Each structure stands twice: as structure tokens, then as C-alpha cells.
Amino acid sequence: MRHRIIAPLAVTAALLTACSGSDDDTPADDAGTRVTASASAAGSGSAGKSGKPANNPVAQRYVDAVAAEDVEALAAAFHEDAVLNEPGRTFRGREEIRQWAADEVIGGRLTVLDDTPKSDGTTLLLRFAHRGESGDGFRATYEFTERDGLIGQLDLEYA
């Protein structure tokens, strides 16, 4: 019984530390990777952010929206005429991107492994598991190009 109480307390403590915004070491998962957001860890739908936010606030808005399972916030992070490219498909405009997110992203788990700034945005190396998928999911690279404080283009590559 004691072990059943300790594990949830440890998770709660980690989430509280992660959301505190302190400059302490970033919480890590079992593989030692930096966890920026995970919808399943958040439980209530709130973002499970690390103490060190993404280098780019535009990319962080996307990560937070996935963690919160908020398709409207995710769509709002994109410029009205943004383009999202993934292998074999292109989505043009906020409405197409909103539908793609509702169908394929919201409810999934996104874990940021690395964040590499570039002159007009950032590139995130991450793991993503679709809604209902067990296991760690797959690795991907999301290249964010910023325009007017929003995502102007998002290029996705899957490993």
C-alpha cells in the first residue's frame, strides 16, 4: 500500500516542480530526456511544462496546446494562411490545420527531447504517441518557422 501512495506523490511533486518556473535542473523521464509536455502526465488537461521552457515561445504554444488537449489553442498558434507539411501531405490555412490536429494530434502525448533555435523559429526533436497508442510513440522533428508571432510554417519529419 505504501508504494501505491509514494508513486503518485512523486509524480505530483515532479509536476509541481516542473510548473514552478524555477531555474533548477529540468525534470527528466526514465530515459533522461527533457519532458516539456505530455497530455497523459497532465491528467487534468493542463500543460506539464518543464522548468526550462522551449527556446521559442511560438513552438511552446503548440506544445502547451497539445498537452492541454486544446485544438482551438493549437489552431490559434498558427498564422491564418500557415502551411503544415508532413510526408506525403500538406495542410494549408488554419482551418485545415485545425482539422488535422483534431483528427491526429489532440489526445496524443508529445515529449520534447531537444530544442534547436534557428533565425526564424526553432526545430524540436520529439517523441509523439497518438491517442490510445501504448508505448513511447515515434521520434519526429518539427521545424517551426515563425511569422508575425505565430507559426507560419511547420515541417514535420518522422523517424
Q: What are the tens digits of pLDDT across the range 48-102?
A: 333 334 679 999 999 999 999 999 999 999 999 999 999 999 999 999 999 999 9
**DSSP class of residue 93?**
H
Q: Find the helix or strand (DSSP H, E) in which 115 lies.
A: strand 109-118
Q: In what order do the strands lie in the sheet with 78-86?
A: 89-92, 78-86, 150-158, 138-147, 121-129, 109-118
For the entire predicted model, the pTM comes to 0.68
Indicate the pLDDT class of residue 46, thresholds 50, 70 and 90. Answer: very low
Question: Can you tell me the distance from the alpha carbon of 5 to that of 8, in angstroms, rounded to the nearest whole number?
Answer: 6
Q: Is the pLDDT of residue 156 over 60?
A: yes
Mean pLDDT of the chain: 75
What domains appear along the chain, each with residue ranges and CATH number? 2-158 (3.10.450.50)
Q: What percent of the chain has pLDDT over 70?
A: 66
